[in-house]
Chains A and B, each alone.
Chain A
Amino acid sequence: MLWIAIRMLTGDKQKFYGLVFGIAFSTLLITQQLTIFINLIERGASAVYSEPTADVWVMDPVSRTPDVNFPMPATALDKVRGVPGVEWAVPHLRAGASVRTSDGDLEGVSIVGVDDATLIGLPKRLIEGDISVLSQPDSVIIDDVGAGKLFENGADPIGARLELNDQRAVIRGIADAIPTFTSQVTLYTKYSQALNYVPGTRNRMTFVIANAADGITHEELASRIEEQTGLRARTREEFAQDGIDFIIENTGIPLNFGITVALGFIVGVAIVGLTFSLFIRDNIKQFGALKAIGVTNAKIRKMVTVQAGLVGLIGYGLGILATVAFIWGFSGNPDFKGFYIPWQIPLISCAAVFVILGLTGWLSLRTVLKTEPAAVFR
């Protein structure tokens, strides 16, 4: 009987492919747009996530995100080190600067100064070079996306000389880092070197990176630091969320993507609903005949559910495949570096498909259930 339902569904090829296309299209739209949205706002947290060792970030009470910060006096480091439960703490500097390339171009960069002695604060992996190059004079490590932007003609960035605040900087390594929201070129260097590259204000140290001792949670440590030093301390997860929240609050991105996702949903409902009800109406005679030979309403409900399930499976599968192909196809593009599909998003679009099919199926079933067996003769 269920096989009959499937044959009934695929018998009308135009409507069947129309249904599959509708589901696939709305799945693609919802999944792909949500993916890009999530990845885009997570760029606000990429600075936090590219620092692999920090448990807690300590900053001036007015600092908000890795890039919206206010520097502290140098003794703040010692204050943090004096808090019980801090296993270690190192200085960290993030500041904007302008760089002049050998071609004479001006480019805004963000300078990241990592602890001189331990090099804590560098990204986990380098694509080229070794972190020991920072011990050479005037060394900087550039991020890979930034290298592509700064050297558009494809020149080798290694060994290239830049001018930063009247100082010489030589690129000696390329880091594998996710770009920040502003996609600025990021240059990693030692803290003491960074002080020379950043135009001087009195206080320079923007962050202190602290790690919790064994047996103390990050949240507990953060509140202890806040209590004892009066500075603002955020755990890694909180600070990543701060960066994301800042983008959500200060840009129109959530609204734009929300509209697109809603459109995907509406288009899905419209196409699928229209086609499905047309399909049911066309087959109303067959349902009438089935009823005439004694098929119960429950059986008919099951049949329609199977039809919807098959359409949903194929449409959803193709839609997800298209999204994966899209993300995979653009993974080589530096603007899409680090883009991934969070596992929650396919589940969300799956739920959306369920809602679309359930809604349209229920609407069209109402007519079927009310059908008299005599309809077959009309």
Chain B
Amino acid sequence: MALLPENLSFSRKVLPIIAIGALVLAVIFIAMGLPDREQSEPEKEPPRAIGELANGARVAGSGIVEPSSELIEVGTALSGLVTDLMVQPGQFVEKGQPLFTVDTRAIRARAAETQAAITEARAALGEARASMNEAEAAIAEARTAEQTAARQLALYRGVDDPAAVSRSEVIRAEGEAASARDRRRLAETRLQQARARVDQANARIQSAQSQAGTTRTELSRATVRAPIAGEILAVNIRPGEFLSNQGGGNSAPFITMGETRPLHIRVDIDEEQAGRLAMGQPATVSPRGAADNQVKASFVRAEPQVVPKRQLTNTASERVDVRVLQIIYALPAEARDAFRVGQQVDAFIPATDGAQGSSGE
């Protein structure tokens, strides 16, 4: 007890000191324990309107980047196996450039077949022509014989002395003349037949030739070509896969392409807000997640039809009751690197009215 003063009273001195100490402790504890309700700035930049739009009348919308030609899902006219794929995603193609070919073996076989048919028909034509010539020769010969017989008969008939020509000679000459006539008739019939065969052969040649033309068309249809100049955006086929042109349910398009010079943006505006929109004004857009990367996009057109808003959750049971006006804006060429087809964007567009809104009142 040497440390303590002798007349230390617990209740008079120690307790008040303890009490004051407790109060100080409590003040510290309470001050330290107050909850942290400070507001802070977000770590990542959210999309915000800048410049004149920051405090002016504006309409906001979300949009999606698309090619200026819109998306072209290239199909195939013929079903078959993919034998050759000439493009890859990201490649720029010219109009008419081949994209892929489907299996042409059956068509080529048919082409060979028609070629053979042409050859065969040509051979038949030659043969028919030969027999026509033959028949013509036979006719000529028969005519000659007929004339000879007729002259001989006339000669015999002109002789007055019946004893000068034997009766049998006359009969023979008459017979010769008749047989020559028959031979001529026969040859004439054969000539007609040969003519018919020539016509037939010609017809067969024509038919085979037109078939050859068909197969040539088929062959060219088997090679699918770019409908416009543009960029290949997606290739969902590989050589060896079977493509059906019957439209197989919800399968992915074979090749997706579009003109990406320039890119367009399709912005959805709530129909309630559509009336406030300043048509024709450029929009300020930024890609999702990169809000500080804002560019000015120029007005292209407004879609004439107001459509149900397509949600981006992609669930099959999605139902909508919001309708949106779609407005198309063109991105400047230098912003091509920051935007990709299919990317979501946030857009701010000037509005026509002042601060007081036109809806919800």
| Range of interface residues on B (Cβ < 8 Å) | 35 or more
User: Taking the complex as formed, is A81 at the interface, i.e. its CB lies under 8 A from any CB of chain B?
Assistant: yes
A227 touches B360 (CB 8 A): yes
Chain B, range 303-350, C-beta contacts under 8 Å to A:
309, 311-313, 315, 317, 319-322, 324, 346, 348
Separation of A191 and B84 alpha carbons in the complex (Å): 43
B357 touches A228 (CB 8 A): yes
User: Taking the complex as formed, is A318 at the interface, i.e. its CB lies under 8 A from any CB of chain B?
Assistant: yes
Query: Smallest Cβ distance from A326 to chain B, in angstroms?
Result: 11
Separation of A75 and B269 alpha carbons in the complex (Å): 8
Known: A124-B36, A231-B360. A320 touches B22 (CB 8 A): yes
User: Taking the complex as formed, is B249 at the interface, i.e. its CB lies under 8 A from any CB of chain A?
Assistant: no
Query: Smallest Cβ distance from B245 to chain A, in angstroms?
Result: 35
* One of A101-109, A112-120, A369-377 at the interface: A112-120
Chain A residues contacting B315 (CB-CB under 8 Å) are 195-196, 200
Chain A residues contacting B311 (CB-CB under 8 Å) are 74
Chain A residues contacting B346 (CB-CB under 8 Å) are 81
* One of A82-90, A179-187, A260-268, A279-287 at the interface: A82-90
Chain B residues contacting A89 (CB-CB under 8 Å) are 46
As a 0/1 sequence over residues 14 to 48 of chain A, the CB contacts with chain B under 8 angstroms (1 = contact) are 00110010000000000000000000000000000
With beta carbons under 8 angstroms apart, the residue of A77, A124, A202, A323 that contacts B321 is A202
User: Taking the complex as formed, is B247 at the interface, i.e. its CB lies under 8 A from any CB of chain A?
Assistant: no
Q: Which of B26, B276, B291, B312 has the largest number of chain A CB atoms within 10 A?
A: B26
User: Taking the complex as formed, is B20 at the interface, i.e. its CB lies under 8 A from any CB of chain A?
Assistant: yes
* One of A63-71, A148-156, A242-250, A336-344 at the interface: A336-344
User: Taking the complex as formed, is B58 at the interface, i.e. its CB lies under 8 A from any CB of chain A?
Assistant: yes
Chain B, range 34-87, C-beta contacts under 8 Å to A:
34-49, 54-62
User: Taking the complex as formed, is A188 at the interface, i.e. its CB lies under 8 A from any CB of chain B?
Assistant: no
Known: A53-B41, A231-B360, A316-B19. A324 touches B25 (CB 8 A): yes
User: Taking the complex as formed, is B105 at the interface, i.e. its CB lies under 8 A from any CB of chain A?
Assistant: no
User: Taking the complex as formed, is A317 at the interface, i.e. its CB lies under 8 A from any CB of chain B?
Assistant: yes
Chain A residues contacting B45 (CB-CB under 8 Å) are 118
Query: Smallest Cβ distance from A307 to chain B, in angstroms?
Result: 12
A313 touches B29 (CB 8 A): no
Chain B, range 211-262, C-beta contacts under 8 Å to A:
none
B22 touches A321 (CB 8 A): yes
Chain A residues contacting B49 (CB-CB under 8 Å) are 81
As a 0/1 sequence over residues 324 to 367 of chain A, the CB contacts with chain B under 8 angstroms (1 = contact) are 10011000000000101111001000000000000000000000
* One of A5-13, A136-144, A270-278, A296-304 at the interface: A5-13
Q: Which residue of A lies closest to B38 (CB)?
A: A52
Separation of A238 and B21 alpha carbons in the complex (Å): 38
Chain A residues contacting B356 (CB-CB under 8 Å) are 227-228
User: Taking the complex as formed, is A73 at the interface, i.e. its CB lies under 8 A from any CB of chain B?
Assistant: yes
User: Taking the complex as formed, is A256 at the interface, i.e. its CB lies under 8 A from any CB of chain B?
Assistant: no
With beta carbons under 8 angstroms apart, the residue of A7, A120, A211, A324 that contacts B12 is A7
User: Taking the complex as formed, is B166 at the interface, i.e. its CB lies under 8 A from any CB of chain A?
Assistant: no
Separation of A324 and B28 alpha carbons in the complex (Å): 10
A10 touches B37 (CB 8 A): no
Known: A84-B56, A317-B18. A13 touches B11 (CB 8 A): yes
Separation of A6 and B61 alpha carbons in the complex (Å): 77
Query: Smallest Cβ distance from B350 to chain A, in angstroms?
Result: 10
A and B contact pairs by CB, cutoff 8 A, 8 listed: A53-B39, A79-B60, A120-B42, A200-B317, A213-B55, A230-B359, A317-B22, A338-B35
Give the 8 A-B CB pairs with smallest separation, nearest first. A230-B360, A317-B19, A81-B60, A228-B357, A321-B22, A88-B46, A75-B270, A117-B289
Q: 12 extra interchain contacts, Cβ-Cβ under 8 A, other than A81-B47, A84-B58?
A: A10-B9, A49-B37, A77-B62, A79-B360, A80-B60, A81-B346, A124-B36, A124-B40, A202-B321, A318-B22, A341-B33, A343-B30
B contact set with A: CB distance below 8 Å: 9, 11-12, 15-16, 18-23, 25-26, 29-31, 33-49, 54-62, 268-270, 272-273, 276, 288-289, 291, 309, 311-313, 315, 317, 319-322, 324, 346, 348, 351, 355-357, 359-361
A contact set with B: CB distance below 8 Å: 6-7, 10, 13, 16-17, 20, 49, 52-55, 73-75, 77-85, 87-90, 115-120, 124, 131, 178, 192, 195-196, 200, 202, 211, 213, 224, 227-231, 236, 310, 313-318, 320-321, 323-324, 327-328, 338, 340-343, 346
